[in-house]
Amino acid sequence: MRAFRLIKVAGKSIVKNKMRTLLTMLGIIIGVGAVIIMVAIGEGAQSQIEEQIQNLGTNMLVITPGAATTSGASQGAMSFNRLRSEDAEKIRSESIYAAGVSEVIFTRTQIVGGSGNWRSTIHGVTTDYPVIRDWELRSGRFFDASEERTGKKVIVLGATIADNLFPDRDPVGERVLVRNVPMDVIGVLEMKGQTPDGNDQDDVALAPVQTVQRRLSNWTFIRQILVNTYSPDDIDEAQEELTAIMREAHGLADWAPDDFEIRNQEQLSEAAQGTTEVMTALLAAIASISLLVGGIGIMNIMLVSVTERTREIGIRMAIGARGGDVLTQFLIESIVMSILGGALGITLGVGGSRLLGSSMGWATAVNTETVVIAIVFSAAVGIFFGFYPARKAAALNPIDALRFE
Amino acid sequence: MSVPNAVIRVEGIRKTYLMGKTEVHALQGVDLTVEQGELVAIMGASGSGKSTLMNIIGGLDYPSSGSYFLDGIEVNKLSKNELADVRNQKIGFVFQGFNLLARTSAIENTELPLLYDRKNRFKNHREAARKALERVGLGDRVDHHPNELSGGQQQRVAIARALVTNPSIVLADEPTGNLDSKTTVEVMQLFQELNTEGVTIILVTHEDEVARYAKRVVELRDGQIIKDITQEPDSAAEDLRDLLARREAAQEADTAGVDAAETTANQ
């Protein structure tokens, strides 16, 4: 009850001095607002970068044949052609981390059709492939499971091939010749651009793995198995699991080295993630400084207010307020002000980051964690910076305070 | 030497300040007993020690030596917090400068002491404050702010604030120092009325004009009591009546003069 009355007194004093209150809170409002906006921008940038990295395939694992050793001389990667469809099949049925699995075989050949011909690489893949690579279609469709199983003569063209063979029209529905085998174009892939080392990712055509094996290349060994996990966080576990499955599939003894290699792009994603984390921390640090300055502003005004209200403090003490009552009153005032300022700052921050997000096209993300931290922090600012002035007020001698002009 | 109705018993009180390097002996052995229902004026020139005595009686300051009993409690042995509670429960202050909180209505000012009442003697603060304001004749001004009230009305609010806790004693420090002569008499009339209702009042003043309304006058000089007399007080109510009558007469004379002048001018 008493505490409630003291809060009421503090509330009244805040309401009675609207201008002073607003000026006091301004620092906190801007500080909290800045923290939220900055963190939102940082996190927005982070999620955007994460998405882009996902595009590169951060949750993708690539299994390739290991290096063969002939009379002690290593033949290098891929020289040991021991990946088969059965391996992919085993992964499909046994792995719990694998979301999608796709065998990949390549064959480099001439594609004839439309306005001429184009030499390119044809990838034999499964229906999971566009999901694993996060590759959308520009037009048409991807082949389905039954087309894959039966080895239908269908092909999906990469953007570069499509643009070169059919510069003036959509190739979907056209027919091209690959090694004299007529194949129906059922889709065109979205432009993906270059890899970091300058390879054109769009200079490719995709066909069912069965089709490529049986009709185009007579090549039963598989060059790669692509696997993606449900989340980039599972990469390490998935890699271990796949290693075990592959060793079992190849019947390797405990002492035998792996005859395959599993690679992921975790380092790439870690580096990028690290960068954005540093950026977020930097922005938060800058914003925290403004919050700190806001806190000092509160202390400043509260100190002035204690001097200005010395007489009031004297009156309150003369009529029976204890030092503790005065301390509590001033402390409550500064806490209420900073929490109120914090709340307004949150409104400003959330509104500001929404506005920024929509006007600049940035993915700004405000999370509850930041908001909670901002509230707690502003209350802490109120207590910390309000304590010194409050104690100064409580320590006043009522006689001097009453005589103060 | 126990006095049955003694509200205040001050025994051999001394107070020494250090002003820079010189010691100032503000009070040099003061004995004073005030009984229930008294109306005492403590007089003295500035520097006589009357403010120091009032601060000690009011529980705002500690004596250097000697003892002070208020309602049988030895106040000089209390801690700061206990002293604050004594001020709240047993003493009602009225100051020269009114000392009301600005931008705060009369009733909010009046109920202020109840906020610090740790015994919670009054359940309904508003009601207690309203009654106190009615007692000083401001029942129709409860929601006015100090800047909307005259000096006399502000001092009445201050008196209501002093009365709201039903204190053992009302301590008034130069209560009429900022008021004109008519308002002074009005405020003194209020004090006399409250005294008749049984409120013990101590006035600190340097004006004989004020002291003559008290039943007892104590005079201090150089930190010692030099005079302590009981007198038949003048009636503030009568003085006020005379004052008003004289003013009215003067006003009538004025208007009569103006009328006469106007008549002459018109002719």
The H or E element that residue A57 is part of is none
Residues of chain B with Cβ-Cβ distance to A311 below 8 Å are 99
Residue A258 DSSP symbol: P
Cβ atoms within 10 A of the Cβ of B227, count?
11
Query: Is there a domain that residue B184 lies in?
Result: yes
Residue A257 DSSP symbol: P
Place of tokens 């008021």: B179
Residues A86, A210 within the same domain: yes
Residues A286, A192 within the same domain: no
Predicted confidence (pLDDT) at residue B248 exceeds the cutoff of 70: yes
Q: Nearest by CB to A320, which of B101, B113, B120?
A: B113
Q: Which long-range contacts (CB under 8 A, 24 or more apart) does B146-149 make?
A: B146/B98, B146/B100, B146/B101, B146/B102, B146/B104, B146/B106, B146/B109, B147/B102, B149/B106
Three-state secondary structure string covering B150-203: CHHHHHHHHHHHHHCCCCCEEEEECCCCCCCHHHHHHHHHHHHHHHHCCCCEEE
Residues B246, B124 within the same domain: no
Distance between CA atoms of residues A300 and A381, nearest Å: 13
Residues A137, A257 within the same domain: yes
Angstroms from B116 CA to nearest CA on chain A: 6
pTM of the model: 0.66
- The predicted pLDDT at position A370 comes to 78
Q: Checking DSSP bridges between strand A116-125 and strand A204-208, what pairing results, if any?
A: parallel
Contact A336, A4 (CB under 8 A): no
Residues B124, B211 within the same domain: yes
Residues B35, B151 within the same domain: yes
Query: Is there a domain that residue B76 lies in?
Result: yes
Residues A281, A256 within the same domain: no
**A196, A230, A264 - which closes a domain:** A264
Determine, for residues B99 and A9 on separate chains, whether the beta-carbon distance falls below 8 Å.
no
pLDDT band at residue B66 under the 50/70/90 scheme: very high
Residues A7, A104 within the same domain: no
pLDDT (tens digit per residue) in B119-163: 888 889 899 999 999 999 999 999 999 999 999 999 999 999 999
Q: Checking DSSP bridges between strand A181-189 and strand A154-157, what pairing results, if any?
A: parallel
Distance between CA atoms of residues B112 and B171, nearest Å: 17
Contact A181, A149 (CB under 8 A): no
Domain CATH code at residue B26: 3.40.50.300
Structural domain including A65 reads 60-264
Residues A313, A199 within the same domain: no
Residues A252, A281 within the same domain: no
Query: Is there a domain that residue B151 lies in?
Result: yes
User: Residue B24: is it exposed, middle or buried by C-beta count within 10 angstroms (0-12/13-18/19+)?
Assistant: middle
The H or E element that residue A323 is part of is helix A323-360
Which 3 state secondary structure label does DSSP give B72?
coil
Query: Is there a domain that residue B181 lies in?
Result: yes
Best A13, A315, A329 residue to mutate vs chain B (most B CBs within 10 Å): A315
Structural domain including B257 reads 241-267
- The predicted pLDDT at position B199 comes to 92
Distance between CA atoms of residues A247 and A240, nearest Å: 11
Residues A95, A21 within the same domain: no
Residues B184, B267 within the same domain: no
pLDDT (tens digit per residue) in B161-216: 999 999 999 999 989 888 888 889 999 999 999 999 999 999 999 888 889 999 99
Listed residue (A130, A134, A132, A133) closest to A143, CA to CA: A130
Cβ atoms within 10 A of the Cβ of A263, count?
12
The values of phi and psi at residue B179, to 5°, are -115, 155
Query: Is there a domain that residue B1 lies in?
Result: no
Distance between CA atoms of residues B85 and B89, nearest Å: 6
Is residue A399 less than 8 Å (CB to CB) from chain B?
Answer: yes
Contact A110, A118 (CB under 8 A): yes
Contact B149, B180 (CB under 8 A): no
Listed residue (A40, A25, A28, A31) closest to A370, CA to CA: A40
Determine, for residues B113 and A314 on separate chains, whether the beta-carbon distance falls below 8 Å.
no
Residues B121, B43 within the same domain: yes
Residues B132, B198 within the same domain: yes
Total number of domains in chain A: 2
Contact A32, A346 (CB under 8 A): yes
Is residue B116 less than 8 Å (CB to CB) from chain A?
Answer: yes
Q: Nearest by CB to B116, which of A314, A321, A402?
A: A321
CA-to-CA dists, residue B158 to A72, A291, B111, B253, angstroms? 107, 43, 11, 37
The values of phi and psi at residue A172, to 5°, are -60, 130
- The predicted pLDDT at position A113 comes to 85
Determine, for residues A321 and B80 on separate chains, whether the beta-carbon distance falls below 8 Å.
no
Residues B264, B164 within the same domain: no
Dmax over Cα atoms in chain A, in whole Å?
108
- To the nearest whole percent, how much of chain B has pLDDT over 70? 94
Determine, for residues A319 and B58 on separate chains, whether the beta-carbon distance falls below 8 Å.
no
Residues A41, A101 within the same domain: no
Residues of chain A with Cβ-Cβ distance to B161 below 8 Å are 319
**A264, A292, A322 - which closes a domain:** A264
Residues A185, A286 within the same domain: no
What residue in B sits closest to A311 (Cα-Cα)? B99
**Amino acid letter, residue A302:** M
Q: Which two tokens stand for residue A329?
A: 């009153």
- The predicted pLDDT at position B228 comes to 93
Determine, for residues B87 and A320 on separate chains, whether the beta-carbon distance falls below 8 Å.
yes
Total number of domains in chain B: 2
- To the nearest whole percent, how much of chain B has pLDDT over 90? 60
Contact B98, B158 (CB under 8 A): yes
Predicted confidence (pLDDT) at residue B1 exceeds the cutoff of 50: no
Residues B255, B140 within the same domain: no
pLDDT band at residue B265 under the 50/70/90 scheme: low
Determine, for residues A322 and B116 on separate chains, whether the beta-carbon distance falls below 8 Å.
yes
CA-to-CA dists, residue A224 to A150, A152, A247, A262, B95, angstroms? 21, 21, 16, 10, 95
Residues of chain A with pLDDT under 70: 1-2, 53-58, 67-81, 196, 266-269, 272, 362-363, 365, 405
pLDDT band at residue B262 under the 50/70/90 scheme: low
> Residue B203: CB partners within 8 Å, gap ≥ 6?
B39, B40, B41, B42, B172, B175, B191, B210, B211, B214
Residues B76, B198 within the same domain: yes
Q: How far is CA B208 from the centre of its chain?
A: 15
- The predicted pLDDT at position A23 comes to 82
Residues B96, B77 within the same domain: yes
Residues B144, B186 within the same domain: yes
Which 3 state secondary structure label does DSSP give A55?
helix
Residues A252, A278 within the same domain: no
**A209, A239, A264 - which closes a domain:** A264
Is residue B17 less than 8 Å (CB to CB) from chain A?
Answer: no
The H or E element that residue A156 is part of is strand A154-157
Residues B167, B245 within the same domain: no
Residues A212, A329 within the same domain: no
pLDDT band at residue B3 under the 50/70/90 scheme: low
Is residue B122 less than 8 Å (CB to CB) from chain A?
Answer: no
The residue ranges of DSSP E strands in chain B, in sequence order, are 6-19, 22-35, 39-43, 65-70, 73-74, 91-94, 169-173, 201-205, 216-221, 224-230
